[in-house]
Amino acid sequence: MFTGIIEETGIVRSLRPATQGANIVIEAETIPASLKIGDSIAVSGACLTATSAGETSFSCDLSAETMKRTSLECARIGTIVNLERPLEVGARLGGHFVLGHVDGMGRLVSTKSSGEGAVMSFRYPRELARYIVFKGSITVDGISLTVASLEGDVFSIAVIPHTLRVTTLGLLKAGDPVNLEVDVLGRYFERFFQLGLLREDHPALTLDFLKEQGF
């Protein structure tokens, strides 16, 4: 479980094809020294497992599915990536609940200056439309953001200067791919509707009821 608050960026130092996937080595200033083999790490929004870790770098195996479903397929030596370690129990939740399970890839449409920040627009896969809500949360390359506007298959976000500086958003160019993860709460509500648990004749949706259902 992650929050979408990026801790630092890293740089891809190696990307070697492997059987049904690849192995990636990422260099960063602080995170590698805190990792152990088997630890989870969100790399530009994709939850990966550390297969080795040193003082300044760590490696992860990328499955064929990860390569197919995420922008890591386009990664090259020198690519900058966003990094976040999992949320610790009892820590403050500064963003929103992020699983690191990429739902689809979007593409940057445009970046327009807004004061010292920017308004960035992304085209998203139509199958994600039912989960993207005006003023709702969305994860772009692992970053927790708020949908500022929706028009057709494009959503926009308002990005503050700090976020532009400490993440990869400021490096994106029109047409670049990004990893998208929708708010997981939307998926749970959809499932409730599919199971008929939100019918008028069904008990009210309360905290007690959610606990009884295993949430």
CA distances from 62 to 7, 19, 87, 208 (A): 21, 10, 22, 40
Mean pLDDT in the chain? 91
State the sign of the Cα–Cα–Cα–Cα dihedral 65, 68, 71, 74: positive
144 lies in the same domain as 78: no
Strand partners, 180: 104, 140
130 lies in the same domain as 60: no
117 domain-assigned = yes
State the sign of the Cα–Cα–Cα–Cα dihedral 166, 147, 45, 213: positive
Instruction: Report, as an integer, the average pLDDT of 49-59.
Output: 97
95 domain-assigned = no
204 domain-assigned = no
128-167 pLDDT per residue, tens:
998 999 999 999 999 999 999 999 999 999 999 999 999 9
119 domain-assigned = yes
74 domain-assigned = yes
> Per-residue b/e over 89-118, b at no fewer than 16 CB within 10 Å?
eeeeeebbbbebebbbbbbbeebeeeeeeb
214 domain-assigned = no
78 lies in the same domain as 125: no
The domain that holds 52 is classified in CATH as 2.40.30.20
Distance CA 119, CA 158 (A): 5
93 domain-assigned = no
Provide the domain count of the chain.
2
Distance CA 213, CA 207 (A): 10
200 domain-assigned = no
3-state secondary structure of 213: coil
15 lies in the same domain as 56: yes
Distance CA 3, CA 176 (A): 23
5-34 pLDDT per residue, tens:
999 999 999 999 888 899 999 999 999 999
- Helix (H) / strand (E) element for 111: namely strand 104-114
Domain encompassing residue 21: 8-84
69-89 pLDDT per residue, tens:
999 999 999 999 999 999 988
pTM higher than 0.85, yes or no?
yes
Share above pLDDT 90 across residues of the chain, in percent, rounded to a whole number: 77
